[in-house]
Chains A and B, each alone.
Chain A
Amino acid sequence: MIANFSKPALTLALLAGAAVAGPAQAQSAAEGQKLAFDRGKGNCLTCHVIKGGDLPGTIGPELTGLKAKYSRDDLIAIVTDETKRNPLTVMPPFGRNRILSEQEISAVVDFLQTL
């Protein structure tokens, strides 16, 4: 994959990544919010109260203060397949069952970390 980049492009990409890590993450979090509210995708709102979302469900806990409660790796693990931690969970295994791609899960987690 990286081999496909030309050297200047790669350098530029790295520079851009380093320089605008903030905005890029914000953009990813905004993308994550879309996924979290989208009925066909993350659809987190169906079960969880989330700031900014209308008509939330009541099955899961409210998604708030997550950065203090969980590491990024924990959040990725929970979204990917919560049945590993809790076999009785209602939560769908978004990663294992390919409901979301790795990249989408990463964006959703970026969003969760803003809550």
Chain B
Amino acid sequence: MMLRLTIRAAATLALGVLALVPAARAADSIDPLADKAAFQKFYTDKFPKLKLEDFVNGPYSMNEDLHKQWVEKEDFPPYEFSLEAGKEMFSKPFKNGKTYADCFPNQGIAIRQNYPYFDEKEGKVVTLELALNRCREANGEAPFSYVKDDMAALTAYMAYTSRGKPMDIKIPNDPRALDAYQKGKEYFYTRRGQLNFSCATCHVQSPGERIRAEVLAPALGILNAMPIYRSEWSGMGTTSRRFTTCNSQIRGVPLNPQDDEYRNLEYYLSYVSNGLPISGPGARP
């Protein structure tokens, strides 16, 4: 089934390339479908005992002991408080009487897997966090901080209603979308900060390895679990928090949440995790 899908997708791509020979030549090396296949194969080769969907549990998927910890944690999930708050916030009307549901397809339920998407009108990537704040502002409400608390609660609820849905990021036939994807990929693999780490240094080259007592998560499926309760943070954090704290930890200067670079990064990283189920909200050590 999987194989047939892949072949059909590959055939579609091949036809697309034939139809666009001059454009394709310029973009010779940008091939998201091939990237995704290679990215996922890299992890399943490296961890042959794991199924693709296991990777959404991050470090907890890396060995049996950790998996046991995860199962125990899920009995009393530390994100539950935030999830409950998010559910309540989501249904509470704004001052103008409208709700979040009015801003989203399908009333905002079971749609997490479609974010981020490329907005062809704006010519940019739009993440779920960004869409939530735009929804607030369009309804006369002040935007939330992107990194924790209210934003984490809302995205926790939206992820929860989407649990099990395969990540389904689309790259429309628009050179700007392909460019955003490619920029995100470049950001992911570029070394930065005083420690000279790229995202890939830890999360591609070293998943499952320990830095002191902490187990590094695989990049595959890492965003499927967002937002997360992290013991290290003593609280919830969003994708924005994950990106900015990573940049600080490598002694780099973090960008602002939802800067173009982070939006593109989220686009790339989500796309290569296509097919893996949404598992958020998650818990991490």
| B-binding residues in A (CB < 8 A) | 45-47, 55-59, 83, 88, 90, 92-93, 97-99
| Other-chain contact of A90, B194, B201, B213 (Cβ < 8 Å) | B201
For residue A83, which residues in chain B have a CB less than 8 angstroms away from its CB?
A: 196
Q: A97-B194, A97-B196, A99-B195 are in contact. Are A90 and B205 (CB under 8 A)?
A: yes
| B-to-A contact residues, CB < 8 Å | 194-197, 201-202, 205-206, 209-213
Q: In the complex, what distance in Å separates the CA atom of A32 from the CA atom of B63?
A: 34
Q: How many A-B residue pairs have CB under 8 A?
A: 36
Q: Which residues of the partner chain B approach A56 to less than 8 Å between Cβ atoms?
A: 210, 212
Interface centre among A59, A88, A97 (most CB of B within 10 A): A59
Give the dominant DSSP class at A's interface. loop
Q: Are A90 and B197 in contact (CB under 8 A)?
A: yes
Question: Nearest Cβ distance between residue B91 and chain A, in whole angstroms?
Answer: 44
Q: Give the complex CA separation of A98 and B194 in angstroms.
A: 8
Q: A90-B201, A90-B205 are in contact. Are A59 and B211 (CB under 8 A)?
A: yes
Structural contact, B194 and A99, CB atoms closer than 8 A: yes
- B191 to nearest A CB, angstroms? 9
Give Cα A58–Cα B212 distance, bound, in whole angstroms: 8
Q: Look across to chain A and name the residue whose beta carbon is closest to the beta carbon of B208.
A: A58
Q: Are B194 and A57 in contact (CB under 8 A)?
A: no
**Pick from A45, A57, A97: contact of B209, CB under 8 Å:** A57
Residues of B within 8 A of A97 (CB): 194-196
